Amino acid sequence: MEDFLYFFSFQDPNVLMVVIGISLLSISAAMVGTFTFLDKKALVGDAISHAVLPGVCLAFMFSGNKNPYWIVSGAFFTGALSTYVISWVARYTKLKEDTVIASVLSIFFGVGIVLMTQLQQTGNASLSGLDHFIFGNAISIVREDLWVYGALATCIIVVLLVFYKEFKVMVFNRSFAESIGLPVKRLDFVFNSLMVLAVVTGIQAIGVVLMAALLITPAAAAKFWTDRLSRLLFLAVLFSLISGISGAYISFSLPHMPTGPWVVVVLSIIAFLSFFFSTKKGILTRWVSRRKYQSKIHRDHILKALYQAEEHDKKGLPQKDIVDNFPGKVVKTHRTLRQLKKKGYITNDRELVALTSTGNSEAKRIVRLHRLWELYMTEYMNIAPDHVHESAEKFEHIITPELERQLDKSLNFPKEDPHQSIIPRDQNKP
Amino acid sequence: MSFDQNAFIIILTGSMIAISCGLLGAFLMLRKMAMTGDAISHAVLPGIVIAFLISGSRHGLTMVIGAGLVGLIATACIEYLTQKVKLQSDASIGITFTSLFAIGIILITFLANQIDLDQDCVLYGEIAYVPIDLWITKAGTIMGPRTTYLAVINLVLAIAFVSLFYKELKLSTFDPEFAATIGLSTAGVNYGLMGMVSYTTVSSFEAVGAILVVALLVVPPATAFLWTKNLKKLLTVTAILGVLISFLGYYLAYLLNSSIAGAMASVAGVFFFVSVTLNRHQIPRIKSKMRRLREEMA
C-alpha cells in the first residue's frame, strides 16, 4: 500500500518520468498496432521487434555505451531492413509469407544473439544494461532516454493523426485508395516506418521479445467492443495505457521484475476478458443469445404442434404426446411448457395441453409465417412445393412483422399455401 | 587442425537437433504453419519452468511431458481463438505466444533463486556446455554427454514419426479435403505433428534456446524449398543443410567467440539469403512464361 501511494502520488520525479515514458509508448504502440491489426500484418510487428536486436548491439559496438541516439538509430536501421527483406523475399520467391516472416525473424535474432554474446565476452561494464533490451525494464529509463523515446512516440502519434484519413482508407480498401489517387506506395513506406519506430520506442521498457504484444493485443481486445475505427483506437489506447502503467508499477514494487512480461500479462488478461465477456461479440454473449434463440425455436415448435392439433379438431394434446414428439429433449420440453403456461399461452389441465386465446394468436402467427414463406418460395423462386418446407422451418422464427407485411402484400394477401392449407389470420386484424 | 573431441560432440549434437527440427519444420512450412511453430517454441517456456519446479531437474520425463503439454495447449488455444472466438489467425498466434512467454519469464524471475534456469539459457541455450554435462549412472560409470543422448532419442523419434506417418502427413498437407474424404483424421495428424514439434522444442531447448529453435525449424526447409519441389528431396536437402549449419555454425562461433546457437542461426541465414538471391527470378520467370503462353494462345 505504501508502495502504491508512493508510486501513484508521483512524489519521486523518476517515477513520474517512467510513467510518462511508458504511457507515451503504450499510446503510440496501440495506435500503430490498431492499423497493423486491421491490415492483418500483426506478425510483421513480431518480426520487426526481434529484428531490432542486432541493431541495438551494433549501436553498442560503435558508441561503446548506452547512448539512446545510437541505439534508436541502430534499432531503426535493422528493423526497417527486416521489413524490406521480408517483402523482397516474399515478392521474388514462392515461399509463403508466414515462412518468410519466421525465417527473417529467427535469422535476425540469431545474428543479434551472436553480436550480444560477443559484446558480453568483451566485458565492458556499461554493457550490463544490454539485457534490459531483451525483456525490458522501464525503471532503468533515465531523463535522456525519456527525451528520445518520448519525442519519438509523440512523433508517431502526431503523424498517425495527421494521416488518419489516408491510413483509414488504405487499411479498409486498398484499391479504392489507389483509385482516388492516394500515393499508396509512399503511404505504405510512411506506415512501415511508423511501425518500426513504434517497436523501437518500446525496446527499453518492454523488450524486443514481447514488444509484438503491445502492437497486437490492444487492438485485438478492442475489436470485441466496437467496429468504429475511432472508438477502436480509443479503446486500444486505453487498454494499453492501463497495462503499461500497471506493468511499470509491478516491476517497481517487486525488485528484479522485468517490466515487459508484466505489461503483456495484464494486457493479455484484458484481452481474454474481452474475448469472453464483451457485451458485443464475446463468447459468453454469443452463447447466451444462441441459447435464447434455440429455446425460442423450441417454443415455436410446441405452439405450432398445438395449433395443428386444433386444425384437426382436437381440443389439445396430451402432455405425453408433446414430450414424445421431441425425443431427446424431455427436460427442455417440460421447461418450455412451464414457461408457456406462466405466460398464459397454454392451459395445462390434467395432462391435456391446450392453447389459450393469446397462445392461439401467437401460434397462428408462426404457422402463418411458415405458410407465407412456403408460398413466397413457390411463387417467386419457382421452387417445387415439396421442397419448400425445410426452408420455411428456419424462416418462421426470424421473419419480422415488417417483413411479414411485405410478404403479405407482394403475395396479395393469400388464403392458402402451396399445400392447400389455410393461412391462418386473426379475425380482428385486416 | 587436430581432432577435437568436444567440437565433435557439439557438432554431432547440433546436427542431430537441426535434422530433427528440419524434418518436422518442413511439414510446418508446407502446411503454412511456420508462425505456429514459432509460437510453440515461445510458448513451451512456462511448461518447462513448471515441470522444472515439480521434478527439480532439467532432464527427464516430467520436463518433456510438461512442456509438450503446454505446446499442445498453445496449439489448441490458437485454434480456439481463431475458430470459436473468431479472431484473425495472425492475432491469435501473436496473443497466445506472447502471453505464455511472458508468464514463463515471470515464473523464471520469481523462482530465480530456486531453480537453476536463467534468462540467458532461455535465449540461446548452452550447447557449448554439452561435453561437460555428463550422464553419470548411479554406479558411477560415465556414459557420456547427456544432451547428446537426448538428441539421439529425439532424432530417432522424429525420423520414426516422419517415416511411419509419411503418407498421412503428405496427404493431409497437400490435399486435406481428400485426406478427410478417405477417412484420415486430419486433426489427429495435426496434433501429432504439433506434439512432435513441442517435444523437439523442449528437447533442443537446453542446447539452442527457445527462440533459435525457430531458426532450425523454418530456415533449412525454406532454403531447401527454393531448390526442389519434390518432398523426399526437400527432406534430404533439409537434413544436409542441418549438418552443414551445425558444422559451420560451430566454427563461426569459435572464430567470433560467441554463442554457438546464434552462429548456427546466422549460418542458416547466409544459406537462406544466398539461395534467395540465386533463385530470385523464380517468380518473374514464371510470370513471363505465363505471359508468353497466353500470347501464344491468343
Chain A from 69 to 98: CB within 8 A of any B CB: 88-89, 91-96, 98
Q: Which residues pair with B145 in a beta bridge?
A: B134
CB B40 within 8 A of CB B71: yes
What value of ipTM does the predicted structure carry?
A: 0.89
Report the distance separating Cα A49 and Cα A52, nearest Å.
Answer: 6
Cβ separation of A107 and B103 shorter than 8 Å?
Answer: no
Cβ separation of B261 and A110 shorter than 8 Å?
Answer: yes
Chain B nearest C-alpha distance from A419 (Å): 39
Instruction: State residue A430's pLDDT score.
Output: 44
The three cell numbers locating residue A6 = 508512493
Cβ separation of A268 and B98 shorter than 8 Å?
Answer: yes
Q: CB-based contact (8 Å) between A253 and chain B?
A: no
Cβ separation of B264 and A96 shorter than 8 Å?
Answer: no
Chain B residue with minimal CA distance to A115?
B258
Q: Which residues pair with A317 in a beta bridge?
A: A353
Q: CB-based contact (8 Å) between A111 and chain B?
A: yes
The CATH code of domain B5-118+144-297 reads: 1.10.3470.10
Cβ separation of B98 and A281 shorter than 8 Å?
Answer: no
| pLDDT (average), residues B45-69 | 77
Q: CB-based contact (8 Å) between A37 and chain B?
A: yes
CB B222 within 8 A of CB B35: no
Residue of B95, B110, B256 to mutate when probing chain A, most A C-beta within 10 A: B95
Q: Nearest by CB to A220, which of B33, B87, B219? A: B87
Residue of A49, A114, A224 to mutate when probing chain B, most B C-beta within 10 A: A114
Chain A residue with minimal CA distance to B271?
A107
Q: Nearest by CB to A99, which of B34, B120, B263? A: B34
Query: Which of A73, A15, A45 lies closest to A214, judged by CA?
Result: A45
Q: Which residues contact residue A256 at a Cβ distance below 8 angstroms, ignoring those fewer than 6 apart? A: B109, B112
Q: Which residues pair with A346 in a beta bridge?
A: A355
Type of residue found at B165: F
Residue B52 pLDDT > 60: yes
Q: Which helix (H) or strand (E) holds A137?
A: none
Q: Which residues contact residue A87 at a Cβ distance below 8 angstroms, ignoring those fewer than 6 apart? A: none
* List of chain B residues whose C-beta atoms are within 8 Å of the C-beta of residue A135: 105, 119
Instruction: State residue A93's pLDDT score.
Output: 86
* A8 Rama sector, left if φ>0, alpha if ψ -120 to 50, beta otherwise: alpha
Residue B114 pLDDT > 70: no
CB A24 within 8 A of CB A214: no
Q: Which residues contact residue A390 at a Cβ distance below 8 angstroms, ignoring those fewer than 6 apart? A: none
pLDDT in tens, B118-174: 666 666 676 667 777 666 666 666 666 777 888 888 899 999 999 999 988 888 888
Cβ separation of A261 and B106 shorter than 8 Å?
Answer: yes
Chain A nearest C-alpha distance from B282 (Å): 6
Instruction: State residue A243's pLDDT score.
Output: 93
Cβ separation of B109 and A121 shorter than 8 Å?
Answer: no
- Between A306 and B63, where is the model more confident? A306
Chain B nearest C-alpha distance from A392 (Å): 28
Cβ separation of A216 and B98 shorter than 8 Å?
Answer: yes
Chain A nearest C-alpha distance from B132 (Å): 20
Report the distance separating Cα B211 and Cα B43, nearest Å.
Answer: 10
Q: Nearest by CB to B266, which of A111, A121, A134? A: A111
CB A44 within 8 A of CB A195: yes
- Cβ neighbour number for residue A129 with a 10 Å cutoff: 13
Taking the C-alpha atoms of B232, B238, B240 and B243 in order, what is their torsion angle to the nearest 10 degrees?
-150
Q: Which helix (H) or strand (E) holds A335?
A: helix A330-342
Instruction: State residue B237's pLDDT score.
Output: 94
Chain A from 162 to 221: CB within 8 A of any B CB: 209-210, 212-213, 216-217, 219-220
| pLDDT (average), residues B264-293 | 85
Cβ separation of A106 and B35 shorter than 8 Å?
Answer: no
Task: Specify the pairing of strand A352-355 against strand A346-349.
Answer: antiparallel
Report the distance separating Cα A306 and Cα A243, nearest Å.
Answer: 57
Chain A residue with minimal CA distance to B87?
A220
- Between B239 and A394, where is the model more confident? B239
Instruction: State residue B10's pLDDT score.
Output: 86
* List of chain B residues whose C-beta atoms are within 8 Å of the C-beta of residue A268: 95, 98-99, 102
What pLDDT tens digit does each residue of chain A (430 aa) get?
Answer: 677 777 777 777 778 888 888 899 999 999 999 999 998 888 888 899 889 999 988 988 888 777 788 888 999 999 999 999 999 998 888 888 889 999 999 999 999 988 888 887 776 645 556 767 777 777 777 777 788 888 899 999 999 999 999 999 998 888 898 899 888 889 989 999 999 999 988 888 888 878 889 999 999 999 999 989 999 999 999 999 999 999 888 888 887 778 888 999 999 999 999 998 888 788 888 899 999 998 888 888 888 888 888 888 877 788 788 888 888 788 888 888 888 888 888 887 767 888 888 888 888 888 888 888 888 888 888 888 888 888 888 888 888 888 888 888 888 888 877 778 888 877 655 4
Instruction: State residue A100's pLDDT score.
Output: 93
Q: Nearest by CB to B94, which of A91, A110, A216? A: A216
Residue of B28, B78, B85 to mutate when probing chain A, most A C-beta within 10 A: B85
Instruction: State residue B294's pLDDT score.
Output: 84
Domains present along chain A, CATH in parentheses: 14-216 (1.10.3470.10), 285-355 (1.10.10)
The three cell numbers locating residue A415 = 388464403
Instruction: State residue B58's pLDDT score.
Output: 63
* List of chain B residues whose C-beta atoms are within 8 Å of the C-beta of residue A98: 32-35
Chain B nearest C-alpha distance from A220 (Å): 7
Per-residue buried b or exposed e for B9-37, using 16+ beta carbons within 10 Å of the residue's own CB: bbbbbbbbbbbbbbbbbbbbbbbebbbbb
The three cell numbers locating residue B271 = 544459406
- Interface A-B: count of C-beta contacts within 8 A: 207
Q: Nearest by CB to A93, which of B123, B253, B280? A: B280
Query: Which of A208, A211, A209 lies closest to A244, judged by CA?
Result: A211
